[in-house]
Structure 1
Amino acid sequence: MSHIYNSILDTVGDTPIVALHNVTKGSKHKFFAKVEYFNPGGSIKDRVAVAMIEEAEKRGDLKPGGTIVEATSGNTGVGLALAAAVKGYKCIFVMPEKMSEEKRALLRAYGAQVVITPMVEPEDPLSHYSVSKKIAEQTPGAFLANQFFNPDNPTRHYKTTGPEIWEQMDGKIDMLVGGAGTGGTLSGCAKFLKEKKSDVKVICADPIGSILYDLFYHKKIVDPPGSYKVEGIGEDMLPGNVHLDIYDGFVRVSDPEAFDMTRRLVSEEGLLVGPSSATALVGALKASEKLEKPSNIVVIFPDSGRQYLSKAFNDKWMIENGFLKEADVKTAFNRVISAEEALKNLKK
C-alpha cells in the first residue's frame, strides 16, 4: 500500500529528463529535455494549477462550492479543472479562438465551461483577459486564478521544477531554455538555479510576433504584436511573472521552424510534444551556437503533442498554413491507405 497515491493530485511533478540525440546531432553540446507531459493533466501547468488552488484555499480566497475562473491557452485550464474535479469546484475558462479543438474538448471533459474570445488586443473588452475578469467579478464565490500575475505560479516552480532539474542533472547544468507565456516556469526555475550556480544562463525562446523579445533588448515595443500559430508562449503584453531581470537572453523562433521541429521530435526522438516544446529546442540550438565550451543544456518541454493532432500533426492544416508541401505528403510513409493499395505495394 506504500506505493498508492491518495489522489491524482499527488502524482503531479517529478517528471523525467530525457537526453536528446538525433535532432541535436552535430552539436558539441549535450541537450536534455524536461518532459512535462508526464504530469496527469499532460502539461507543466498542473504544477501551478494545484499551487494556485491550494494557496487560495489557505488565504480564504476560494471557499467550498466556489467557482474557479481563468484566462488560459488551455493547459492551465486542464490543470485547474483536474484539481477542481477532485476538490469539488466549478470552472469557467476563457480562451482565444486560435486554441486547438483538443484543448477545448479536454476542458469540457473535466466538466468545465469554455468561453471562446476573438483574437484582439489585451485591453479590448472581448479579450480573454478582460472577459475572464468580468466573469469573476460578477460570479458569486468566484476565484480568478490570474496565472499571469499570481506569485504562486513562479513560486511553485522555484520550489519544485527548479530543484528537480538541479538534482536530476547533479548540478551539471550550464543553460536552461524555455518559452514564456505567463513566465512562471522560466522565472521560478531561473531564480532557484541561479541561487545554486550563478553562471547558469537562462534563455527564453520567443515566437516571432511576441513582444517579449523587444521588451528585453529595447525596453519598449519595436515591432507591434503579430500573429503566430504556436500556442501557450509569447505575449502581446508583459505578464507580471515574466521577470526579465533574471533572464540572460532571448532567441526568436519562427512558426515554420517550430512546427518542423515538432514533427522531427516525434519521428526522430519518439517524443510527441507540442510546438512550444519544439520552439524551446530550436531556441536552445540557436543559443548554443554562442557557447564556446561544450555545455549541458536543459530544455523545458511543457506539454504533449496529443493536444495538437488537429494542427501540428494534421497534414491538411500544415499544408494550408505553409508548413508542409503537398508533394511531400503524397510520398510519405506514414499515410493511411486502403488494404487494396497496401497489397498492391507488396507486388512492386
Structure 2
Amino acid sequence: MQSRFQGCQEGIPGHFTTGPVNGLAGAIGNTPLIYLKGLSERTGCQILGKAEFQNPGGSVKDRAALGLISDAEEKGLLKPGGTVVEGTAGNTGIGLAHVCRSKGYNCVIFMPNTQSQEKIDLLRMLGAEVYPVPAVAYDDPKNYNHQARDYAKALDNAIWTNQFDNVANANIHYATTGPEIWEQTDGKVDGFICATGTGGTLAGVGRYLKEKSNGRTQIWLADPPGSVLHSYISSGGKLIERTGSSVTEGIGQGRITDNLGTFIKNVDSSLHIADEKSISMVYEMLDTEGLYIGASSALNVVAAYEMAQKLGPGKTIVTAICDGAYRYQSRLFSKKWLQLKGLENAIPENLKKQFHPLKLNPRTNEIYLQLPPPHENIIITPPRKNDTDAIVEAMNDPRVYKTLLSPPFPYLREHAEAWLASSIQACDTAYDKLKQAAAKDVDDRSPVVHVDGCPVSFLREVRKDGSDAYLGSIGIFRSFRFQFLRDEERERSLSSRNVELPAGHPEIIWEIADHLVSSHHGRGIVTAVVRTLINDWAVPRMNAHVIYASAFTGNIASVRVFLKNGFEEFDQVEDCLTIAENRFVLTTPSSLDKQMHPLKVNLCTNEVHLRLPAPHENIVITPPRMTDADALIQIMNDPRVYKMLLDEPFPFLPTHAEAWLTVEKQRSDAVLDEFRRSAGQNKRNNLGGAGDSQTPPLRYVGDCPVSILREVQKDGSDTFIGHIGVYRCGRFEFLRDEEQEDEFASQNEEFPVGSPKIIWEIGDFLSSSYHGGGIMTAAIRMIIHDWAVPRMNAHTIYGSTYSGNAASVKVFLKNGFKEFDFVDNCVEIRKSKGGGKAGVHFLVWRRPQ
C-alpha cells in the first residue's frame, strides 16, 4: 500500500507550529506523527507513532503536568508562589518539575524508595523536593500517593495534583493530543491503541476520536503483564485478575482510575503484550527506524502492529511513543540486567552485538570501541605507530598541551615517538584477553585503563572506503595522583594502595580526559564518546563509582560536554596552573548520594562551604571569618534585626562583634578539621549524617563552622550578604514554659543525632540589597532537604520572624513551614512610623512520616 506519509520530505514533520511559542508551556504538544515504514509495509497499513518524546521534558507526561497545573490555576486552587505535590514513580514528576520551575511554583515529589538514584537526582536538579518513601500497596495509608495528598493538605497554597484520579489529566489529551492526531491524519484514523498508567492519554484521545468519527475509530487498550486492565476489558468488566509482573515502567494498573473510569466502557478491545515482544521492539526500532525508545513506547508499537494485523490492510493505526530510552538505557541495553529478567533471548540475534561496545576488526586484528548512532562512523582505537604527526599537532594546540609549557615549545617528534612506543608496549600486556572478549562478545569485566597502558584511546572517523582519520584522543584512567585533594601524604597513600585494589573497588577514582581537533567541533562527537565510555564501558565493565574530569576555563565546549553527561563542577582552581581550570566529578548510581552532598572544600582557601544549587550557584555558606566584623556590626544596627531589640543607645561596638567572632571561630575549629579532611578525601561525603559515627553533626550558628552567606564574584573573591543557620534548640521561647524549657535544655544535649525529641531552629538574615532574588528561599530549602533531614535526620524545625518582615514569612511558608503561633506581647518593637507593638510569627516544619 502506498502511504501518503511515504511522500513526506525527509526531515519535515507531518505537523508543526510555526513561529515562537510562549515559554516551556508553549513548547508542550504539537508533536509529529512518525510513519513507521518497516511495520507499515509488513502489514499493508499506515502505522504512525506520536512522537511524545519531543516534549521539553522528554515524555507524554509533560502534557498531563501542564493540564493538571493549568486546571488548578483556572479554579483558583493554586496561586503565585504555591506548591505542587504529587506521588509519582515516573515521568509525571519530571514533567511537573519542568512546568513548576517555568511558572515559579515549588514542586514536591513523593516516590517509592525502590526508584533509581538517577531519577531522584534528576528531579532534584530540576528543582523538585523529593521524598523517597517505603514502597507499599495502594491501600496502605503510607503509600506514596497518600503521603503526597496528606503533605499537600498540611500546606497553604498547595495542591495535590492526583494524576490518577484528577480528570484534568484526561482533559488535556482531549483538548490537545486528540485534535492533533485528527488533524495530522486528515480525520482518517481507523484505530488508536496505547497502554495506560493513569488512563489519561487513552481516555482523552479516545473520547475525542470517538466523537469526531461518530464512533468509527476503534480504541484499544494495550496491557503489560501484571496489570488487570486487559482481564477487565476482555471479560466485560466481570473479572479482575492480576498475574505476573513487567519490566516496563509507568504503565499497567491494579485498579480502574477515575481518568480511565470515565471512558473504559467505550474501549473496543484490548491486547496483552508480553515483555519479550516489548524488549525485542526496542532493538528493532533502533535498528530499522533509528528511534531510541523506551520499553513502554515499544509495547505501544508492538500493540499497534498487532492491531493492524487484526484489522487488516488499508487501515491507519496510531499509537503513542511515550518517551525515549535515555532514562532506561542502563537496563534495556545491559546484558546482565536482561539476563537477570530472563529476557536476553528477546533480542534479535543480529542486534545482540549492541550490548558490547568492544569490537574486533578481523581485517586489522585491532580492538576498537564503536559509538552508537548517529556517530557509528566514529571509533576509538589503540595508538598506532603512524600517529606521530597527529600527536605532535595535538601537543602544539594552544588550547591543550602548549599552554602548559614555557616557550619555546619543547615537544619534538622524538618525544611523540617515544610516548607512542611506550603506550603500544603497555597496551600489548592486556591486548590478548581483550581480543578474546571482543571476538566472543562476552561481558569482560577486566579493567581497561584508557590512555596510560590502555589499548583504546584514539578517536578516529571511518571513511566510506574503510580508511580512517585521526580526530583526537580520549581516555578513562585510574587516578594515582589527586591534584584536587592537595594532600601529598594522602596521595602517596592512595597511590600505593590503588594499584592493589580490584576493579570496581569503591575507593578507586577514575579520571576522564579528551581532546578533539578543532575542525570537528560542534558535531556532538565528544558528548557521545563520553556517554559511551561512562555508560557502556566504565560503569558496566569496570564497575566505576567515581569519575573526575577537568577542563580549562577557556574551553567552553568541554565544560558543556561534561555538564551534559551528568558531571557536577566542584571546584575552579586558578593558582595551580598558569590558566584557570574547572574540575568536575561524576558519581555513578551506586554512589550518587555523594553527588547530592552540598558540602565542598574550597581548595584555594582550604575552607569548608555549602554551595547553593542553580540558579544561585554563586552563593555559598561559609564559616565566620575575623574579617566579618564590619558586616556584623552593620547587621546589628539594622533596625529590622538586632538594634530594635536593645535599649538605646545601641551598645554594640566593634569590640563586641570581634569578641563574638572569636568565640564562633573557636567553636568552629573544634570540628572544622575533621570536616575538611572528610570532604577533601571525598571518602564517604555523608558528613553529619545520622549513623555516621566518624563525623559529628554539623551545627549551624551556635557552634557551627558554616553560617555566613556570601556571594562569590567572578574573580574568586566573595561578599558578605547575610547569615543562615539550623541549630539545636537549647531554649524554646515559643513554648513559654520556663520549667519545660529547662527540662528540654538539660535533656537535649544527651539525645543522639536524629532523635525525634531533638528540636531544631532555623535563623536567617539577608542584606536588603539582595531581597527578591529567591536566595533565602533556596538556602532554606537546601539546608532543610539536603542537610538537616538527610544528614542530621531532623524531624522538627522551628522558625520565627517579626511581623514587619513579610518577606521572611513568605520564605518559611514557601518551604513548607506552617504558622502555629503569633505572640504580640513578648517583645516591644518600635516601628518606623510611630510607636506601638508588633509581634513575632512562630512557624514549624515537620518531616513527613
State the TM-score, normalized to the length of structure 1. Answer: 0.91
State the SS of the aligned residue for 1:73: coil
Moved segments of 4+, more than 4 Å: 97-102, 325-331, 343-346
Q: For the residues of structure 1 that align with 2:73 and 2:264, how far apart are their CA atoms?
A: 30
Deviation at 1:309? 1.4
Q: Which residue does 2:232 correspond to in 1? A: 215
The answer to whether residue 256 in structure 2 is matched with residue 238 in structure 1 is: yes
Instruction: Map residues 4-83 of structure 1 onto 2, 5 A cutoff.
Output: 4-83=20-99
Q: For the residues of structure 2 that align with 1:21 and 1:329, how far apart are their CA atoms?
A: 20
Does the 8 Å contact 1:213/1:251 carry over to 2?
Answer: yes
Partner deviation per Cα, 1:249-291 (whole Å, 9 max, x = no partner): 1101112221221122122211111111111111222223321
More divergent stretch after superposition (52-61 vs 119-128): 119-128
Q: For the residues of structure 2 that align with 1:221 and 1:139, how far apart are their CA atoms?
A: 40
Deviation at 1:102? 4.2
**One-letter amino acid of the counterpart of residue 176, structure 1:** F
- Kindly tell me the number of residue pairs found equivalent between the two proteins: 345
Deviation at 1:302? 1.1
**One-letter amino acid of the counterpart of residue 238, structure 1:** I
Does the 8 Å contact 2:174/2:205 carry over to 1?
Answer: yes
Give the counterpart of 2:326 among 295, 306, 310.
306
Gaps of 5+ in 1: none
Q: For the residues of structure 1 that align with 2:67 and 2:290, how far apart are their CA atoms?
A: 31
Q: Which residue does 2:10 correspond to in 1? A: none
**One-letter amino acid of the counterpart of residue 88, structure 2:** T
Deviation at 1:29? 1.9
The answer to whether residue 354 in structure 2 is matched with residue 336 in structure 1 is: no
Q: Which residue does 1:93 correspond to in 2? A: 109
> RMSD of the alignment, in Å?
2.5
Does the 8 Å contact 1:23/1:269 carry over to 2?
Answer: no
Deviation at 1:68? 0.8
Q: For the residues of structure 2 that align with 1:191 and 1:306, how far apart are their CA atoms?
A: 31
Deviation at 1:187? 0.7
Deviation at 1:88? 1.4
State the SS of the aligned residue for 1:297: strand
State the SS of the aligned residue for 1:215: helix
Give the counterpart of 1:260 among 270, 275, 280.
280
Q: For the residues of structure 2 that align with 1:215 and 1:338, how far apart are their CA atoms?
A: 48
More divergent stretch after superposition (134-143 vs 197-206): 134-143
Change (3 A) 1:332 1:160: same
Change (3 A) 1:333 1:188: closer
Q: For the residues of structure 1 that align with 2:52 and 2:253, how far apart are their CA atoms?
A: 21
Q: For the residues of structure 2 that align with 1:302 and 1:327, how far apart are their CA atoms?
A: 23
**One-letter amino acid of the counterpart of residue 231, structure 2:** D
Q: For the residues of structure 1 that align with 2:141 and 2:322, how far apart are their CA atoms?
A: 30
Q: Which residue does 1:276 correspond to in 2? A: 296
Q: For the residues of structure 2 that align with 1:57 and 1:241, how far apart are their CA atoms?
A: 20
Q: Which residue does 1:156 correspond to in 2? A: 172
Does the 8 Å contact 1:157/1:189 carry over to 2?
Answer: yes
Instruction: Map residues 155-174 of structure 1 onto 2, 5 A cutoff.
Output: 155-174=171-190
Change (3 A) 1:69 1:109: same
Deviation at 1:16? 0.5
Partner deviation per Cα, 1:289-326 (whole Å, 9 max, x = no partner): 32144211111111111111122123322222111159
Q: For the residues of structure 2 that align with 1:289 and 1:83, how far apart are their CA atoms?
A: 39
The answer to whether residue 311 in structure 2 is matched with residue 288 in structure 1 is: no
Change (3 A) 1:338 1:199: closer
State the SS of the aligned residue for 1:341: strand
The answer to whether residue 170 in structure 2 is matched with residue 144 in structure 1 is: no
State the SS of the aligned residue for 1:22: helix
Does the 8 Å contact 1:193/1:200 carry over to 2?
Answer: yes
Q: Which residue does 1:181 correspond to in 2? A: 197
Q: For the residues of structure 2 that align with 1:160 and 1:193, how far apart are their CA atoms?
A: 12
The answer to whether residue 323 in structure 2 is matched with residue 297 in structure 1 is: no
Q: For the residues of structure 2 that align with 1:169 and 1:329, how far apart are their CA atoms?
A: 34
Q: For the residues of structure 1 that align with 2:114 and 2:146, how far apart are their CA atoms?
A: 17
**One-letter amino acid of the counterpart of residue 65, structure 2:** A
Q: For the residues of structure 2 that align with 1:316 and 1:136, how far apart are their CA atoms?
A: 40
Partner deviation per Cα, 1:198-241 (whole Å, 9 max, x = no partner): 21001111111101112223324442354322111111121100
Q: Which residue does 1:200 correspond to in 2? A: 217
Partner deviation per Cα, 1:159-206 (whole Å, 9 max, x = no partner): 110010011111111000111111111111111111111210011111
Q: Which residue does 2:400 correspond to in 1? A: none
State the SS of the aligned residue for 2:107: strand
**One-letter amino acid of the counterpart of residue 171, structure 2:** T
Deviation at 1:17? 0.4
More divergent stretch after superposition (23-32 vs 52-61): 23-32
Does the 8 Å contact 1:23/1:268 carry over to 2?
Answer: no
State the TM-score, normalized to the length of structure 2. Answer: 0.39
**One-letter amino acid of the counterpart of residue 286, structure 1:** E
Does the 8 Å contact 2:190/2:218 carry over to 1?
Answer: yes
Q: For the residues of structure 2 that align with 1:25 and 1:335, how far apart are their CA atoms?
A: 31
State the SS of the aligned residue for 2:192: strand
More divergent stretch after superposition (282-291 vs 184-193): 282-291
More divergent stretch after superposition (31-40 vs 16-25): 16-25
**One-letter amino acid of the counterpart of residue 37, structure 1:** F
State the SS of the aligned residue for 2:223: strand
Change (3 A) 1:320 1:330: farther
